[in-house]
A and B are shown apart, each in its own frame.
Chain A
Amino acid sequence: MSIFVDENTRVVIQGLSPTGQGLYHGLRNRAYGTNVVAGTNPKRGGETIEGIPVFSAVAEAVESTGADASFISVPPPFAAEAVVEAAEAGIGFVVCITEGIPAHDEARVYNLLRRDFPGTRLLGPNCPGIISAGKCNIGITSGDIALPGGPVGLVSRSGTVFYQALYELTQKGVGQTTGVGIGGDPVPGLSFTDVLAAFEDDPGTKAVLMIGEIGGSAEEQAAEFIGAQLSKPVVAYIAGVTAPPARKMGHAGAIISGSRGTAKAKMEALAAAGVIVAQNPTEAGERMVEIVTAIRKDEGMTPG
């Protein structure tokens, strides 16, 4: 099983051109098995690029191909409007990997979607995307580092630690249902809590690996949700234990202000909610192996 996207998901690539990032990643996603059904480009409607039909607007692509997910990697000045265009066209799942979108654009789009387009989920921006192992990969994750079959759901704010975590699990023979990179920006679309809630509802997901980082309070909110509503075991790792206060550590969202947003506070909140907190990605993988081994043993002993 998986969450948000699967083998039936139909993807439109927004801003498709013969030389752009969208085509490069879109073809990689298609090679993984993702149904890439359309591209959009206001100047290239009617063309076909690498076998992908191009439409001048998302709404046309939806009408002609039944696309229900979109992939956005356009430059920052155009990204916010691209998300809004997808929402207006009725796209249900929008993946935006664009890095460097102004915080005010993100805040406006987030609140606009919530008010006017509740049927549209936005993943990102500034994220690696989503991969439902063996079924659908939208974004920039290298498909070969994921292992189909579950039972672990993965959610991460950081991109490269997301890859690292998938790789650690795969190396150890532990498969994944879906890996979701929510991104490190100040106003991400999907939050940890949204993704954790989806994992809770997915019968294929038996345990969750969560990768947080310093700054903001998303991990604390996740801890609250886990304590109150998540029945599945969670292992977490928080990057940035050694980060100095008041400095932006690469991601606009990764900044410690005063005593708030520290790795220590987040780790304590998660531990208090019953989460197993690891000190580094490798240890997180090892803890997850122990959990999955125990789950498999239990399942093996359950008759029927």
Chain B
Amino acid sequence: MDLYEYQGKQYFSRYGIPVSPGGVADTVDEAVSVADDVGYPVVVKAQVKVGGRGKAGGIQLAQDPQEVRRHAGDILGMDIKGHVVHRLWIERASDIAQEYYASFTLDRSAKKYLCMVSAMGGVDIEEVADSDPAAIARRHVDPVDGFSAESASELVAEAGLHEGAREQAASLLQKLYTCYVEGDCDLAEINPLIYTTDGRVHALDAKVTLDDNARFRHADWEEFSATETTDPRERLAKEKGLQYVGLDGFVGIIANGAGLAMSTCDVVEQVGGKPANFLDIGGGANAAQMANALEVINSDENVRSILINIFGGITRGEEVANGIVEAMGRVQIASPIVIRLDGTNAEEGRRILADHAAEGLESVPTMIEAARRATALAKEHRP
């Protein structure tokens, strides 16, 4: 789960990482009121989960209430790379002497954490990595050993941060590590991390990705979930506990297992179709879950045929078949369904489905044939 900047900063604050004083505003009036509280000058920042806000005009400096009013009015409702701005973060402006970069993430190939620090902050770090890799100081951190004060000091020196900034930066780095580990982040990134003209080091931006698997030990994440997703199909799927990613094609996909769901999307594309979504109903998919999945797919107006690809391991064929029949009784499924069922109790499942063949439900023996059939049906049903 990606956090908005303001949420990331609130998260940082819990771990003692210094950020600028500020507040959230959803209207122009709120923006002025927050700005009055934090004190001028302020920066008005669009809250969207996409990079390039500054270039798009989504970050503006304001000296007084009139300027806040004008910028907030301009930015609210602005479309930044397909993300519409509904919320602003207003914070006290900082006098920046230098811009740095700091992050913790997992290096999957090394199977250790990776800490990166650079004196070249404020720009896309991937560009720095490409153009001047030596400008980034890196260190692998063994999760068993943890991140020592010595490592932090060495890194900030190695990265060439200003001498006056090093002690604060090293201390901040250790807090960022605690936030990354105890806060169960997949990514904790500060870009830029600034050194102000009056000698303070703090986070001017916050990019935080939380590990959804750790939700069970963070009751406080509930507030972040409420603002998480905007695609109505994805929101519905999430409510139903399904793994769903919306795509822009016309063949609705339901499969069990992430790999098989991806593979099904691939095969549909190979035979000339276009997947409308990725949907994994999970390992132990039962009747109710299948019904939920069909409901989600059915809510997508672009879907013109549905391909269900199930290979039973724990998932049992007759459960899947019953789920489809149940769903067809519960909601009016708008598109024809093609199903390929194999594995545990597949024959029993196919028998159940055969009784409903007349209702726009076809059973096809292999994955590729099923993909071809679903694609052909979608093309026939073109509106």
Contacts and interface: CB of A to CB of B under 8 A. Distances in A.
Interface of A: 25, 76-77, 99-104, 107-108, 110-112, 115, 128, 140-142, 145, 156-164, 167, 184, 186-187, 211, 213-214, 216-218, 221, 237, 239-244, 247-254, 258, 263, 279-282
Contacts of B262: 158, 213-214, 239-240, 242-243, 249-250, 254
B342 A167 contact: yes
Contacts of A102: 184, 211, 213-214, 217
A160 B216 CA distance: 26
Query: B interface, by DSSP: helix, strand, loop or mixed?
Result: mixed
A145 B344 CA distance: 9
Nearest to B181: A104
B94 to A, nearest CB: 29
Given A111-B112, A163-B311, A258-B126, A186 B106 contact: yes
Nearest to B248: A244
B313 interface: yes
Interface in B78-116: 106, 108-109, 111-113
B214 A280 contact: no
A159 B247 contact: no
Contacts of B243: 250
Give the residue among B106, B108, B113, B181 with the most A Cβ atoms within 10 A: B108
Interface residues of B, number: 51
Closest 7 A/B residue pairs (Cβ) = A158-B259, A250-B258, A160-B257, A160-B260, A102-B214, A161-B259, A239-B262
B216 A249 contact: no
Nearest to B268: A242
B313 A128 contact: yes
Contact of A107 (B113, B245, B275, B368): B113
A253 B268 CA distance: 23
B366 interface: yes
Contacts of A252: 211-213
B3 interface: no
B108 A244 contact: no
Contact of A111 (B143, B260, B275, B368): B143
B367 interface: yes
Contacts of B311: 160, 163-164, 167
Contacts of A244: 245, 247
Nearest to B249: A242
A280 B263 contact: yes
Nearest to A103: B211
Contacts of B358: none
Given A104-B181, A107-B106, A244-B245, A250 B143 contact: no
Given A101-B213, A104-B214, A142-B344, 13 more contacts: A25-B314, A99-B283, A103-B214, A142-B312, A158-B260, A158-B263, A159-B283, A160-B255, A247-B245, A249-B245, A250-B280, A251-B259, A252-B212
Give the residue among A145, A263, A280 with the most B Cβ atoms within 10 A: A280
B256 interface: yes
B269 interface: yes
Contact of B261 (A107, A157, A250): A250
B74 interface: no
B216 A104 contact: no
B234 to A, nearest CB: 10
Contacts of B126: 258
A163 B267 CA distance: 17
Nearest to B185: A104
